[in-house]
Amino acid sequence: MLYRFDETFRSLVVRRCAAFTRAPAIDNTRGLKPAAVAVTLVESENRSGEAAFVLTRRSRNLRSHRGQYALPGGRCEEGETAVAAGLREVQEELGLCLSADDMLGILDDYPTRCGYLITPVVFWAAQTQRLVPNPQEVVSLYRIPLAEIARADAIDFTIIPESDRRIIRIRMNGSLVHAPTAAMIYQFHEVLAGRNTRVADLEQPVFAWR
């Protein structure tokens, strides 16, 4: 399905996010460090008017998850909300100045194996500002058309010996992207389709456990 990056699509995202009921917090997430990521909606790379989201590849100079695909984001600072953290991380990683008015919705918290509880925040980046990756954190960034993850063969699930939970994988940018990023993108895909699909039980590959 082709989504146009226009006000009609923005209104659709707002309605679908408003209709989505976030899952309540569960006991086994207590003690996890709060973090936020940004599902940042932009126009596609070729300026065709197609809607896309921003995917980054993390710098190999970072202490954890070096070289992995990720949504812009990071740990919440003391007293910082998920929305505020998402806005700060988008500016720090992408050089993109957004405001709380650009927030369209919030998805379910996702608990990670490495001790974080990630809140995904959906933002609309209609500004014509260039995306400028911060080389200290981002080695490259991509505008992934939403149509790319809506293909019938884009999303699949597998299992690993180390867990009885399903691993999610999404084919994008010529690679397989795994959870946590894949889980949160998958949930956004489902919310956009009007489905309240939960993803907290989707497993991460072993290389993401540290």
Is there a domain that residue 17 lies in?
yes
| Euclidean distance between CA atoms 156 and 32, whole angstroms | 28
pLDDT of residue 102: 97
162 within a domain of the structure (yes/no): no
For residue 72, being part of any structural domain is answered with yes
* Domain presence at residue 14: yes
User: Tokens 């991509």 label which residue?
Assistant: 142
Query: What pLDDT does 191 receive?
Result: 97
The span from the CA of 93 to the CA of 44, in Å, is 18
Q: Does residue 165 lie within any of the structural domains?
A: no
Is 156 domain-assigned?
Answer: no
Rounded average pLDDT per 10-residue block, the chain, 210 residues: 91 98 79 95 85 86 66 95 97 95 97 94 88 87 94 94 95 92 97 96 88
Domain CATH code at residue 35: 3.90.79.10
Residue 22 lies in a domain: yes
Q: Look at residue 118 in the predicted model and tell me its pLDDT.
A: 96
Whether the Cβ atoms of residue 15 and residue 191 lie closer than 8 Å to each other? no
pLDDT the model gives residue 127? 77
Nearest to 104 by CA among 185, 192, 200, 25: 192
DSSP the chain: ---BSSHHHHHHHHHHHHH--PPPP-GGGTTPEEEEEEEEEEE-TT-SSBEEEEEEEE-TTSSSSTT-EE-SEEEPPTT--HHHHHHHHHHHHH-----GGGEEEE---EE-TTSEEEEEEEEE--S-PPP---TTTEEEEEEEEHHHHTSTTTEEEEEETTEEEEEEEEEETTEEEETTHHHHHHHHHHHHTT-----TTPBPPGGG--
> Quick check: is 54 in a domain?
yes
The whole-number pLDDT of residue 67 equals 61
Q: What is the pLDDT of residue 208?
A: 80
Domain total of the chain:
1
Q: What domain range is 89 assigned to?
A: 7-149
Q: Which of 109, 119, 126 is nearest to 40 (CA)?
A: 126
At residue 40, the pLDDT reads 98
pLDDT of residue 57: 86
